[in-house]
Structure 1
Amino acid sequence: MRINDPGAMRALAHPLRIELFERLAIEGTATASELAELVGSTPANCSFHLRTLAKHGYIERVEGATGRDRPWRVIDIEQSWSAGERDGSERDLAARALESSFLEWETERLRRAAGRAAPSGWKNALSTTGATLHLTPEEAKDISERIGEIVSEYVPRWDQPDLRPDGGRPVRLFTATYLVEPAQDPEGATPEGDVTDKDDR
């Protein structure tokens, strides 16, 4: 699912909605009451946020289900968006809000995971990696695309449980590439290669 609408971006730019979406993807289907127990919230609060996600096309009611508290399901397990132009437009501000919420959520999840002991069979299976590389724009794009291809190999297991191997568990993968901020020299001069707007008077 490619997210381009500013309203849809803002709808997902909320920590609880991100968590509800992921938990719903893991469970397959779940009601607001069931999700409330899993995320530590109230059914009424979860119901409100689930309806917001549904309004913007992230989730939907399970077909054929009846009753007051009907289960929900995820429509598309994959979401992507681009930052776009940093021009202060509605879309720009919405994209920034979504990126900020997403990064805060991921960072908190990483911190909590780092504090837990790995269960039997998972020691040395999970890792955290960081590297500073000298790349061209084309090379940076190639790395992102290659990682995406690897991830895509495993995505069908969400919709097709019979593809899941014995002993498997949900594992969160988070990758990001970004430009390293250029160093400022002691005199405050702009590093070579950077361009700044000046008023030559």
Structure 2
Amino acid sequence: MSEQPSRVIADPRALMAIAHPLRLRILEALALHGPLTATDVAHHVGESPANCSWHLRQLNKYGFIAEAGGGSGRQRPWRMVVDAHRWGVGEESPELARAGDAASQVLIDLEYRALREWLMTRRQETPEWRDAGFFNQAVGWCTPEELDDLRTSLSELFAPYLRRIEEASARPAGSRPVRLMGWGIPAATSEPGDGTEERT
């Protein structure tokens, strides 16, 4: 299986378009319930259709959503564009770095809230879902190449499940939306023997 193509975002305006909690809630509503009109989105996120319509146009402008076909105005349905996004790679202007940091912070805050909510409510789930849910934590030793390989492997593992956002017919009976997140970040350390000591 090949890795889902990544869209490297190098436009600070595109990153600022998603560095907004309401827009992330709109994207989530489209992923879970879409395609949706602005009126439908408003129902799911608790905002006015006019406000949602404006935010939908901003998300569309930068390629995060697309028209699903049919309807017009606020009754025009929108769908989420399912692709992998990356930013903060290669050389960055100060403006791009600030926008990337803001987008990352909003996304991480959203996921942390969802994880905390799961931990507090998981015992209300059926045993099958409660026992299937997980989060892993580990510290390992990697070269930069190995860490990049791990990122690619995780993207490949996630890809078939992400495709089901657009392909409702591919969702097996008994499936439901599941939040998938993974990260591998170099640990800051200066302990003896950590490989950072000066070599002569």
Number of residue-to-residue matches in the alignment: 189
Structure 1: segments with no counterpart, 5+ residues: 186-190, 196-201
Q: CA RMSD in A?
A: 2.4
- Tell whether 2:63 aligns with 1:57: yes
Q: Which runs of 4+ in 1 moved over 6 A?
A: none
Contact 2:190 2:196 in 1 (8 A): no
Q: Which position in structure 2 is the counterpart of 1:13?
A: 19
Match of 1:133 in 2: 140
> Please, what TM-score do these two structures have when normalized by structure 2?
0.83
1:103 aligns with 2:108: yes
Superposition pairs for residues 1-201 of structure 1, below 5 Å?
1-66=7-72, 68-74=74-80, 76-84=81-89, 89-117=94-122, 118-120=124-126, 121-183=128-190, 193=196
Give the helix-richer structure, 1 or 2: 2
Pick which of 81-90 and 133-142 moved more. 81-90
Change (3 A) 1:38 1:181: same
* Whole-Å separation in 1 of the counterparts to 2:73 and 2:19: 30
Shift of 1:165: 0.7
- SS at 1:174's partner residue? coil
Task: Give the TM-score, by structure 1 length.
Answer: 0.82
- Aligned to 2:84, the other structure's residue is in SS state coil
Shift of 1:57: 1.8
Q: Distance in 2 between matches of 1:20 and 1:103?
A: 16
Shift of 1:194: 7.8
Task: Give the stretch that moved more between structures: 115-124 or 19-28.
Answer: 115-124
Query: Which protein shows a greater Rg?
Result: 1
**Structure of greater relative contact order (alpha carbons < 8 Å, 6+ residues apart):** 2
Unaligned ranges ≥5, structure 2: 1-6
Shift of residue 69 of structure 1? Answer: 2.8
Give the CA deviation at 1:66: 3.6
